[in-house]
């Protein structure tokens, strides 16, 4: 039995060594990136940014986690930012006070809260099929005869025409404790069921092109537009351009894959109507997108029994992504990407990132193959890379055990005294 253990010991050691072999941790190194671009910095004393373009989307990871900036051998920390429109603050309920009719107009006060900032008030109304004018005055106390006039807004509901509604008051950013609202007789006190307030910043979303669309074709009551999407680019919307003279329409729109399967749907509209001496002008020609897998899509506009909608241009668009960084006096650095195994970086710069209003765009050169590219070494465990050795060792162990068992049986003597 002692001899048998001695023979098996090497096999056990070999198997154990294979089982516990560890992989090399994925770490950034410039020779592991497939692509590189030069970055020229004209204002090295302030915050800079780079805009992610179609070439980067095509060759970087989908989450951009393999993007790196280098100053020679040293990484330059950065923060990745999606240039969305500023979102509103948390919506707050505004208490309605003194609701009634005065001088033929519906009037009431809104308690906005002490010190609360707001520039949008959303009214909750039961009324339908109307156009009304609403004025808003800011007041520091209740009961005053007048306050500071902030704005006049047009409220409307076009349910009969199927053209939507607007119940929002838009005002300059204010902090008045009370907001006095006066509405033309189209709205009665019983139509007002509530109100809420929020503060919206005016930063606009930044959109960049994410593909190309072909000319529109008319198939019976449907306008069809085929679009090619840039590889890897996350499309956020498709913007349609309709001649300015075409007004008062609302059309259902669907986005389909090349096989005709619907991916998502929505609507586009433009309203320019007069009612009671007031004009309402609004439009929404951007169709939200819903997929990242397709390279081609087909837009279908349902015209119903109306004349076909004229579409001058259609453009897939993506929210711009930017890489913000501090050049720290440098006038040139290098941009690397294309390492499929590299995890996302962890920079203090990103944790404490603040976007400067005067940040300037650095210039990125053309995409080049990394001349020093070697690719990552095989980072699998030794046992995964040499499975034939593992199986050979297991087979050897089986053979040795079989031989020992056979020897014990043929000798006719105990294996161990």
Full pLDDT tens readout for the chain, 417 residues: 444 444 444 444 344 443 333 334 467 889 999 999 999 999 999 999 999 999 999 999 999 999 999 999 999 999 999 988 766 577 899 999 999 999 999 999 999 988 888 999 999 999 999 999 999 999 988 876 678 899 999 999 988 888 889 999 999 989 999 999 999 988 999 999 999 999 876 678 899 999 999 999 999 999 999 999 999 999 999 999 999 999 999 999 999 998 889 998 999 999 988 766 677 788 899 998 887 778 899 999 999 999 999 999 999 999 999 999 999 999 999 999 999 889 999 999 999 999 998 999 999 999 999 999 998 886 666 566 656 666 777 788 788 787 877 777 776 555 444
Q: Residue 417 falls within a domain, yes or no?
A: no
* CATH code of the domain containing 261: 2.60.120
Residue that is last in its domain, among 161, 176, 198: 198
Residues 66 and 128 placed together within one structural domain of the fold: no
Q: Residue 401 falls within a domain, yes or no?
A: yes
Residues 390 and 330 placed together within one structural domain of the fold: no
- C-alpha atoms less than 13 angstroms from C-alpha of 56 in its C-beta half-sphere: 23
Residues 102 and 63 placed together within one structural domain of the fold: no
Q: Residue 103 falls within a domain, yes or no?
A: yes
Is the Cβ–Cβ distance between 44 and 347 less than 8 Å?
Answer: no
Is the Cβ–Cβ distance between 294 and 263 less than 8 Å?
Answer: yes
Domain count, the chain: 4
Is the Cβ–Cβ distance between 172 and 116 less than 8 Å?
Answer: no
How many other CB atoms are found less than 10 A from the CB of residue 55?
17
Residues 98 and 194 placed together within one structural domain of the fold: yes
Please name which of 39, 36, 51 lies closest in space to residue 359, comparing C-alpha atoms.
51
Residues 212 and 145 placed together within one structural domain of the fold: no
Q: Residue 374 falls within a domain, yes or no?
A: no
Residue that is last in its domain, among 319, 337, 361: 319
DSSP of 85-135: PPPP---EE-EEEEEEEETTEEEEEEE--TT--EEEEEEEE---SEEEEEE
> Counting runs of H as helices and runs of E as strands, what totals does the chain give?
5, 31
Residue that is last in its domain, among 198, 228, 259: 198
Q: Residue 12 falls within a domain, yes or no?
A: yes
Residues 171 and 187 placed together within one structural domain of the fold: yes
Q: Residue 156: which domain range?
A: 92-198
Residues 178 and 105 placed together within one structural domain of the fold: yes
pTM for the predicted model, two decimal places:
0.63
Residues 96 and 185 placed together within one structural domain of the fold: yes
Q: Residue 60 falls within a domain, yes or no?
A: yes
Please name which of 239, 257, 210 lies closest in space to residue 312, comparing C-alpha atoms.
239
- Residue 408 CB partners (closer than 8 Å, separation 6+): 415
Residues 99 and 171 placed together within one structural domain of the fold: yes
Residue identified by tokens 């307030």 is 197
Measure the N-to-C terminal CA separation of the chain; round to a whole number of Å.
9
């Amino acid at each position: 039995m002692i001899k048998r253990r001695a023979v098996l010991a090497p096999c056990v050691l070999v198997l154990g060594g294979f089982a516990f072999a560890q992989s090399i941790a994925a770490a950034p190194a410039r020779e592991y990136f497939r692509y590189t671009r030069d970055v020229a910095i004209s204002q090295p004393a302030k915050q800079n940014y780079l805009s992610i373009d179609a070439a980067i989307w095509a060759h970087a990871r989908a989450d951009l986690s393999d993007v790196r900036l280098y100053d020679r051998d040293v990484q330059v920390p950065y923060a990745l930012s999606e240039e969305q429109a500023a979102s509103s603050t948390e919506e707050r309920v505004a208490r309605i006070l003194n609701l009634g009719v005065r001088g033929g107009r519906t009037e009431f006060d809104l308690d906005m809260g002490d010190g609360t900032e707001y520039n949008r008030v959303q009214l909750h109304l039961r009324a339908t099929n109307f156009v009304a004018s609403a004025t808003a005055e800011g007041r520091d106390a209740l009961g005053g005869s007048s306050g500071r006039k902030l704005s006049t807004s047009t409220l409307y509901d076009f349910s009969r025409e199927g053209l939507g509604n607007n119940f929002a008051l838009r005002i300059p950013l204010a902090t008045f404790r009370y907001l006095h609202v006066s509405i033309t007789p189209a709205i009665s006190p019983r139509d007002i069921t509530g109100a809420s307030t929020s503060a919206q910043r005016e930063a606009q979303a930044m959109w960049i092109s994410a593909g190309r669309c072909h000319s529109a074709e008319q198939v019976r009551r449907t306008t069809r537009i085929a679009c090619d999407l840039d590889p890897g680019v996350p499309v956020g919307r498709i913007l349609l351009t309709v001649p300015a003279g075409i007004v008062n329409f609302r059309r259902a729109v669907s986005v389909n894959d090349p096989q005709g399967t619907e991916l998502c749907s929505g609507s586009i509209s433009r309203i320019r109507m007069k009612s009671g001496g007031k004009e309402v002008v609004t439009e929404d020609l951007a169709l939200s997108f819903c997929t990242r897998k397709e390279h081609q899509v087909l837009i279908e506009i349902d015209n119903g029994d109306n004349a076909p909608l004229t579409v001058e241009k259609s453009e897939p668009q993506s929210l711009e992504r930017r890489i913000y960084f501090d050049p720290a006096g440098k006038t040139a650095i290098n941009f690397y990407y294309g390492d499929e195994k590299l995890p996302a970086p962890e920079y203090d710069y990103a944790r404490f990132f603040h976007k400067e209003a005067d940040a300037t765009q650095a210039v990125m050169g053309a995409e080049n193959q990394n001349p020093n590219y070697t690719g990552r070494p095989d980072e699998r465990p030794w046992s995964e890379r040499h499975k034939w050795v593992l199986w050979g060792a297991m087979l050897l162990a089986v053979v040795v055990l079989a031989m020992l068992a056979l020897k014990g049986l043929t000798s006719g003597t105990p294996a161990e005294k």
